[in-house]
Amino acid sequence: VGDNYDNDVLGAKSANWQALWFNHRERKIEQTPICDIEISSFDQLLETMKTIFV
């Protein structure tokens, strides 16, 4: 889980980890995001975590 696309998402994916991008700034990136999940508010976090850890 990270809010910095370059450091957190790209770093996780380069290590073959899954990545949840907390895009609270609603940043647009030029390429298609490679994160596994993208959320933009804390309100989405609990429900998202429930779907991951069931």
Average pLDDT over residues 28-52: 94
Contact present, 39 and 45 (Cβ < 8 Å): yes
The total domain count for the chain is 1
| Number of other CB atoms surrounding residue 47 within 10 Å | 9
Average pLDDT over residues 7-15: 97
Domain of 46?
5-52
52: Cβ contacts below 8 Å, ≥ 6 apart:
20, 37
- pLDDT of 37 above 90: yes
